[in-house]
């Protein structure tokens, strides 16, 4: 399930209001930082990880102790 950002929600609401009022829907200005943050490679998968106390092994490299880098929770980009 993907979530929608506050900025996208606000834009959708403004467009809906503009349509009802007979106006033209607004065209969002490009925002490279927001587009970058929404890219699928930056999403995190919910996955339980070991804690510092249990000395859990890394899921990617089992011979190494987990350092909580988050790589196992991402699509690897």
Query: What per-residue confidence (pLDDT) applies to 36?
Result: 72
Enter the tokens of residue 32: 């490279």
What are the residues facing 65 on neighbouring strands?
Answer: 57
Residue 46's region, left for phi above 0, alpha for psi from -120 to 50, else beta, is: beta
Residues 6+ apart with CB under 8 A from 60: 71, 72
pLDDT at position 55: 61
Q: Please, which residues have CB within 8 angstroms of residue 77's CB and are 6 or more apart in sequence?
A: 41, 42
Domain ranges of the chain: 1-38, 44-77
Band of residue 6 on the pLDDT scale cut at 50, 70, 90: confident
Q: Which residue has the higher pLDDT, 31 or 11?
A: 11
Task: Write the pLDDT tens digit of every residue in 35-70.
Answer: 776 777 777 777 665 555 556 788 888 888 888 787
Indicate the helix (H) or strand (E) that contains 17. helix 6-21
């Amino acid at each position: 399930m993907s979530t929608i950002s506050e900025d996208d929600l606000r834009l959708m609401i403004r467009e809906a209001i503009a349509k009802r009022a007979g106006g033209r829907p607004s065209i969002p200005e490009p925002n490279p930082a927001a587009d970058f943050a929404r890219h699928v490679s930056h999403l995190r998968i919910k996955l339980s990880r070991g804690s510092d106390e249990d000395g859990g092994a890394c899921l990617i490299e089992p011979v190494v102790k987990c350092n909580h880098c988050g790589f196992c929770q991402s699509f690897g980009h």
